């Protein structure tokens, strides 16, 4: 009987444990050298904390592996995302600016784990294992916001997405909105809400993401019912930039947006 392939992320965690033990270091010892707490090291090794480039780069330095763990992380990220999404990941990881708009959901880069799980589970075709794999991959993507030089992220969200308190998911949604507020307080993250009073506007056609890098300029990504596609033709990118400017102009200023989010979540906390 053929054995089931071991996920790359699991191999990374196993190798981290093996090399730490071989070096005679406890989790606390490794944490001190890597500038993490022992509990954080334990969470990484148990899979309770997402792997990220900063953590693995420090492991590479301590174990003198020549960048092996960081290289394996790239494989794990690719393994964890649908094939159609992989081209976009490169643009997202290399971006200095990110602009995302969604009319019905909280954007993936700002989702909590429980909210992401609830959203992904709406696809009844997925097994629980597939759901968890996609959730982990989405959490891994968010590591770009924690790196030393993160991209400047501007998110525009329709008010209706903030009021989607489904039965039984009130706690999940309340935690998501509080996370959104906390994220928006970060210097490199800006969140804007299009109020219900805006009525009809161009963004209701669907979500979009734009990424800008020094080398490649702007590139876009569009979600649809079959997955999504990357838009890099000049005329397509110009169209998305124009649509972005339109939805951004319909949104509230940053402080008013945060006040609205807090008002919406207040009855649930």
Question: What are 47-64's pLDDT values in tens digits?
Answer: 656 677 888 999 999 999
**Residue 225 confidence (pLDDT):** 66
Average pLDDT over all residues of the chain: 87
Q: Which residue has the higher pLDDT, 3 or 220?
A: 220
Confidence check: pLDDT of 208 > 50: yes
Do β-strands 227-231 and 208-213 pair in parallel, antiparallel, or remain unpaired? unpaired
Q: Which residue has the higher pLDDT, 260 or 55?
A: 260
CATH code for residues 84-268: 3.30.870
Summarised one tens digit per residue, pLDDT across range 71-105 is 888 777 666 655 545 567 778 888 999 999 999 99
* Predicted confidence band of residue 1 (pLDDT cuts 50, 70, 90): very low
Choose the CATH number for 8-78 among 3.40.50.620, 3.30.390.10, 2.60.40.1730, 1.10.260.40: 1.10.260.40
Domain ranges of the chain: 8-78, 84-268
């Amino acid at each position: 009987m053929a054995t089931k392939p071991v996920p790359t992320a699991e191999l990374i965690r196993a190798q981290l444990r093996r090399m730490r033990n071989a070096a005679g270091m406890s989790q606390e010892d490794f944490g001190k050298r890597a500038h993490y707490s022992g509990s954080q090291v334990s969470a990484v090794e148990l899979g309770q904390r997402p792997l990220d480039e900063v953590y693995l780069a420090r492991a590479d330095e301590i174990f003198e592996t020549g960048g092996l763990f960081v290289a394996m992380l790239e494989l794990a990220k690719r393994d964890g995302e649908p094939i159609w999404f992989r081209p976009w990941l490169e643009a997202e990881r290399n971006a200095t600016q990110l602009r995302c708009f969604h009319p019905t959901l909280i954007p993936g880069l700002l989702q909590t784990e429980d909210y992401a799980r609830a959203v992904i589970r709406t696809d009844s075709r997925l097994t629980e294992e597939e759901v968890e794999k996609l959730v982990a991959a989405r959490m891994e993507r968010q590591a770009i916001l924690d790196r030393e030089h993160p991209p400047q992220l501007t998110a525009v969200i329709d008010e209706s997405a903030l009021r989607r308190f489904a039965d039984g998911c009130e706690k999940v949604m309340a935690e998501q909105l509080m996370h959104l507020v906390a994220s928006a307080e970060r210097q490199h993250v800006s969140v804007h809400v299009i109020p219900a009073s805006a009525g009809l506007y161009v963004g209701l056609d669907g979500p979009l993401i734009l990424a800008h890098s020094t080398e490649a300029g702007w590139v876009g990504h569009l979600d649809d019912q079959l997955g999504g596609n990357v838009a890099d033709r000049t005329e397509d990118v110009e169209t998305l930039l124009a649509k972005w400017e339109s939805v951004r102009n319909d949104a509230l200023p940053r402080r008013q947006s945060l006040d609205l989010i807090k008002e919406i979540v207040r009855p649930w906390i």
